[in-house]
């Protein structure tokens, strides 16, 4: 029963699709708007979207296992508050505290999901509320200004080799993530779990350890995104991060990772993040031309339509694939 | 061979689940380089024994020695590391992932700290080449046939330097040609000194490739014999716990006197097939007739029932109901045509545990009971009362949750669920499995009474005496074919077993 085209081929095709769409959109923007490809717009865009890129990377691994992490937005908010609170002690205490807060929530997610065998959707929905509440408690319901006496804000606002530091961090994370996925047993088992968790267990592979790893990574990535958030905007923001999880999930899926897990890629999640981010950026430029005035809510509509298109396609393909599987 | 110390020796193994014994002093030994058949009916303890060996369960007591050392794997991973690999019936590999990953994950090769894909691909290809299989190991596993996937599972086992490979019904979804390839691979493993435990219900395969057989029944090891010294009939009889030539003890079941035989044909099935499990089924059921469908596990009985009920679609063949062509595309079609189906697995496919007796009983009838979407509760109550009385369902009342009822009474509720739809044909898959002796007789008597009222019954059962005493006629299935139709004086335990064993009477 040899199938001519497999899910893998089609997912690969959709990856080319997202990259092609990204290139087209950039070309369109560059052709239509002045300053669109100017250094200021490009670097600001990258500096801001680096946060989403990080959250998306963690989400990619989680979704590859067939799981989901809804807590990332709230975790980023928590991370931003914690790092802002510790920023008076310097750059590193702030960064490490924010990252640690994220990691802690990630480990909590993993522990409950693995030990108590509760659906990730439910668990991370609960920790989303808990993380949001904790952030609000710690921040006393308001934003927490970061210290201007230390160099904490460099991690959000600084440059290294004329390139935003947050973008450097995201880039490094994606290189590491790509190596992790393609060239380590951890990465391959991540995909195997999403493909068939029971079989992976029966094959004697360390399912629980890998699941612990992916949720921890997702929490950590969200925590670091929170640190960047605080440093970039000068304050820990307990009410920020709403809807980040949906943005991240969209980016992962648009980037050619199956929402059901088992098949996916890291690099194209980055393309997915940039593509979804660009829609907002282009909307701003279009309004700037002054001919039409599109509400910012249009970006949600367009992103939603994009996501729906990809998810429906995936569902159709995997349904066909299951049918043809022996 | 028996003189050399065995590779694997399991001695006095006991295991209970919630106080119910699954294994009682079970014994199992496999010699080096031997292909050993492990057979037994459902619930005989084969799977439990294997799962204890592979570290899935922990034994309550008993000794296991493997390769001369005491052995107690704590997990599938541990037993795999120790040299015991298992190939399950449902292929336990990951379809989305490449062949190479499925073979090599768990013992990857690295270069500069990163996975060395080139070497892993080469290794996977080389392992498969040993079985004469050449496929693109980079492609996802699911692109290949079941047989090729089976070979990948074996290649994985060999790659882990397995000394003992357990194959749990490996041929159940293979075609005949693919089965031959698999048997060749087993012979090759034996030639390489690797031992194989072969679990199957297909006698021809067992005789084609196995050296010895261990027969289990009710959690005990009842016989170990060289394959050459045990006849097929003997093997089947031992497995089922029946003596060859024993006189049937009339009255051991609750069916009572047999019917006079069918007047009119209700259901006729010709050359029904759904590869690979059902190859050719011919049978008929008359009005008011109980027809038995017998066969060893995996002979295609349940698959046949599922096709008759519209769950699965046949590849070919013809079904007529009341003289008219009948091609149910979904259970709904079958129900509309007057066919009911009590499944084998009450818990998974039958009862809704938290719902009451009343709700469970009228579940399938709800659309008919509803007026403008609102359930007519008075009518519902009437029907429920009628059936509780008629079938003698013992419950505190119609609103008692069904999970609190005994197995026998749950089964009666399920019967009632179909009976209240006024079916013409009722398919019963293992109607008395897991039900205590008293309730069993009651249900059997009930089935007979229903047939007397004109209902056609197709009864699938693993219990030979249930078939021989309960059915007016019976068919025996073997490897997906109906190989014998028995009635009258020919319907004896001996003949049913002979048909199971040899394919003819």
B226, β-bridge pairs = B212
B65 has a chain A CB within 8 A of its CB = no
- Asked if A150 reaches chain B (Cβ–Cβ under 8 Å), the answer is no
Residue with the two structure tokens 């509320």 = A129
Mutate to test the interface with B, among A9, A63, A188, A318 (most CBs of B within 10 A): A188
Per the CB < 8 Å rule, is B105 touching A183? no
- Chain B neighbors of A326, CB-CB under 8 A: 142, 145-146, 149, 173
Distances (CA, A) of B473 to A210, A265, B288, B297, B393: 56, 60, 12, 20, 29
Given A3, A199, A200, which is nearest B143 (Cβ)? Answer: A3
Does B96 contact A201 at a Cβ distance shorter than 8 Å? no
3-state secondary structure of A153: coil
Residue B100: per-residue pLDDT: 96
- List alpha helices for B297-401, DSSP H: 301-308, 331-336, 357-361, 366-369, 377-391
Please judge whether B115 and A263 are an interchain contact, meaning their C-beta atoms are less than 8 angstroms apart.
no
Phi/psi of residue A126, nearest 5 degrees? -65, -45
Three-class SS state of B167: strand
Q: Which CATH number fits domain A44-320: 1.25.40, 1.10.357, 1.10.3470, 3.40.50?
A: 1.10.3470
Q: Do B115 and A201 touch (CB under 8 A)?
A: no
- Quote the mean pLDDT of chain B: 87
Examine the pLDDT at B249 and tell me if it is beyond 90.
no
pLDDT in tens, B367-400: 778 777 788 888 889 999 989 988 888 888 899 9
Residue A140 pLDDT level (bands cut at 50, 70, 90): very high
* Distance in Å, alpha carbon of B91 to nearest chain A alpha carbon: 8
> Hey, is the C-beta of B95 within 8 angstroms of any chain A C-beta?
yes
Cβ <8 Å between B92 and A199: yes
- Alpha-carbon distance A171 to nearest alpha carbon in chain B (angstroms): 20
Q: In terms of residues, how long is chain A? A: 326
Closest residue in A to B149 (Cα–Cα): A326
Q: What does the pLDDT read at residue B247?
A: 45
Residue A325 has what pLDDT? 40
Q: What is the 3-state secondary structure (H, E, C) of B207-267?
A: HHHCCEEEEEECCEEEEEEEHHHCCHHHHHHHHHCCCCCCCCCCCCCCCCCCCCCCCCEEE
The predicted structure's pLDDT at residue B228: 94
- Nearest CB to B143; choose among A6, A204, A205: A6
pLDDT at B420 over 90: no
The whole-angstrom distance between B432's CA and the closest CA on chain A is 31
What are B207's two structure tokens? 């005789």
Contact criterion met (CB < 8 Å) for A205 and B139: no
Instruction: State the best of A202, A318, A320 to mutate against chain B, taking most chain B CBs within 10 Å.
Output: A202
Backbone torsion region of residue B354, taken as left when φ is above 0, otherwise alpha when ψ lies between -120 and 50, otherwise beta: alpha
Q: What pTM was estimated for this model as a whole? A: 0.78
Whether residue B139 and residue A6 make contact (CB cut-off 8 A), yes or no, is yes
Residues in chain B: 505
A262 vs B contacts (CB less than 8 Å): 94, 96-97
CA distance B159 to chain A (A): 12
Alpha-carbon span A207 to A117, nearest angstrom = 13
- Is the pLDDT at B19 greater than 90? The verdict is no
Residue B172's pLDDT band, with cuts at 50, 70 and 90, is confident
Residue B160 clears pLDDT 80, i.e. is over it: yes
Separation of alpha carbons B472 and B495, rounded Å: 15
Has residue B318 got a pLDDT over 90? yes
Q: What is the ipTM of this complex?
A: 0.82
Chain B neighbors of A206, CB-CB under 8 A: 77
| B181 and B20 Cβ atoms separated by less than 8 Å | no
Mean per-residue pLDDT, A263-287: 91
Percent of chain B whose predicted confidence (pLDDT) is above 90: 41
Domain ranges of chain A: 44-320
Q: Give the pLDDT score at A323.
A: 42
Q: Tell how far CA B311 is from the center of its chain.
A: 17
Chain A residues with CB inside 8 Å of B81's CB? 204
Output DSSP code: residue B346: I
Contact with chain B for residue A5, Cβ under 8 A = no
Distance (Å) from the C-alpha of residue A200 to the closest C-alpha of chain B? 7
Interface membership of A197 toward B (CB under 8 Å): no
A164-206: pLDDT as tens digits: 999 999 999 999 999 999 999 999 999 999 999 988 888 888 8
In the predicted structure, residue A294 carries a pLDDT above the cut 80: no
Residue A66 contacts B where some CB pair is shorter than 8 Å = no
């Amino acid at each position: 029963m040899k199938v001519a085209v497999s899910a893998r081929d089609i997912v690969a095709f959709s990856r080319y699709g997202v990259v092609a769409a990204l290139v087209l959109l950039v070309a369109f923007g560059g052709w239509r708007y002045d300053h669109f490809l100017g250094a200021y717009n490009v670097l600001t865009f990258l500096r801001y979207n680096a946060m989403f890129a990080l959250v998306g990377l963690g989400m990619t691994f989680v979704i590859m296992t067939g799981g989901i992490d809804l807590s990332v937005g709230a975790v980023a908010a928590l991370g931003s508050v914690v790092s802002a609170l510790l920023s008076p002690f310097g750059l590193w205490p702030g960064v490490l505290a924010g990252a640690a807060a994220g990691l802690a929530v990630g480990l909590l997610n993993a522990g409950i999901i693995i030990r108590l065998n509760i659906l990730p959707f439910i668990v991370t929905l609960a920790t989303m509320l808990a993380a949001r509440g904790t952030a609000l408690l710690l921040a006393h319901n308001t934003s927490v200004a970061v210290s201007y006496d230390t160099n904490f804000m460099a991690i959000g606002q600084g440059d290294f080799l004329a390139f935003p530091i947050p973008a450097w961090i995201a880039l490094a994370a994606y290189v590491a993530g790509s190596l992790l996925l393609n060239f380590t047993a951890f990465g391959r088992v991540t995909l195997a779990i999403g493909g068939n968790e029971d079989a992976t267990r029966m094959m004697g592979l360390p399912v629980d350890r890998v699941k612990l790893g992916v949720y921890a990574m997702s929490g950590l990535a969200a925590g670091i995104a929170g640190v960047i958030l605080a440093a970039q905007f000068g304050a820990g923001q307990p009410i920020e991060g709403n809807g980040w999880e949906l943005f991240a999930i969209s980016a992962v899926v648009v980037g050619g990772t199956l929402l059901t897990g088992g098949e996916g890629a890291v690099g194209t999640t980055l393309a997915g993040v940039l593509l979804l981010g660009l829609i907002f950026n282009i909307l701003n430029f279009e309004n700037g031309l002054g001919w039409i005035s599109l509400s910012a809510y249009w970006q949600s509509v367009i992103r939603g339509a994009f996501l729906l298109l990809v998810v429906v396609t995936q569902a159709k393909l995997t349904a066909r694939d299951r049918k043809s599987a022996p | 061979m028996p003189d050399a110390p065995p590779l694997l020796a399991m001695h006095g193994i006991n295991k209970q689940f919630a106080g119910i014994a699954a294994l009682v002093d079970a014994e199992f030994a496999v010699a080096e380089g031997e292909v050993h058949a492990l057979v037994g009916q459902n619930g005989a303890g084969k799977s439990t024994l294997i799962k204890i060996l592979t570290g899935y369960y922990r034994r309550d007591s008993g000794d296991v020695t493997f390769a001369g050392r005491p052995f107690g794997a704590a997990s599938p991973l541990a037993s795999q590391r120790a040299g015991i690999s298992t190939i399950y019936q449902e292929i336990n590999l990951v379809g989305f992932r490449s062949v190479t990953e499925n073979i090599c994950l768990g013992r990857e090769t690295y270069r500069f700290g990163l996975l060395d894909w080139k070497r892993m691909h080469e290794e996977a290809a080389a392992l498969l080449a040993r079985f004469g299989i050449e496929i693109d190991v980079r492609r996802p596993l699911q692109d290949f046939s079941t047989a090729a996937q089976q070979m990948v599972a074996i290649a994985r086992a060999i790659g882990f330097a397995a000394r003992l490979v357990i194959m749990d019904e490996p041929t159940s979804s293979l075609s005949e040609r693919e089965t031959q390839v698999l048997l060749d691979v087993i012979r090759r493993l034996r030639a390489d000194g690797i031992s194989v435990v072969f679990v199957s219900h297909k006698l021809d395969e067992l005789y084609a490739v196995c050296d010895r057989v261990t027969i289990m029944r009710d959690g005990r090891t009842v016989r170990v014999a060289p394959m050459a010294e045990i006849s097929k009939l003997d093997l089947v009889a031992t497995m089922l716990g029946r003596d060859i030539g024993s006189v049937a003890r009339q009255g051991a079941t609750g069916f009572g006197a047999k019917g006079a035989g069918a007047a009119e044909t209700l259901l006729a099935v010709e050359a029904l097939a759904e590869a690979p499990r059902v190859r050719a089924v011919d049978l008929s059921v008359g009005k008011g007739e109980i027809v038995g469908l017998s066969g060893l596990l995996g002979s295609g009985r349940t698959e046949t029932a599922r096709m008759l009920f519209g769950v699965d679609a046949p590849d070919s063949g013809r079904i007529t109901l009341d003289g008219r062509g009948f091609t149910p595309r979904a259970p709904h079609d079958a129900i509309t045509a007057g066919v009911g189906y009590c499944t084998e697995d009450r818990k998974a496919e039958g009862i809704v545990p938290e719902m009451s007796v009343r709700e469970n009983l009228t579940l399938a009838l709800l659309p008919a009971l509803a007026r403008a979407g609102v359930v007519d509760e008075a009518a519902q109550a009437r029907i429920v009362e009628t059936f509780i009385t008629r079938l003698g369902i013992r419950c505190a009342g119609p609103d008692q949750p069904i999970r609190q009822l005994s197995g026998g009474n749950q089964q009666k509720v399920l019967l009632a669920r179909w009976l209240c739809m006024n079916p013409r044909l009722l398919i019963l898959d293992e109607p008395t499995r897991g039900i205590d002796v008293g309730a069993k007789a009651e249900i059997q008597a009930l089935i007979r009474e229903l047939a007397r009222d004109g209902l056609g019954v197709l009864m699938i059962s693993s219990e030979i005496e249930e078939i021989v005493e309960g059915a007016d006629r019976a068919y025996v299935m073997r490897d997906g074919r109906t190989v014998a139709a028995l009635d009258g004086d020919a319907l004896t335990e001996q003949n049913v077993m002979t048909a199971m064993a040899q394919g003819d009477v």
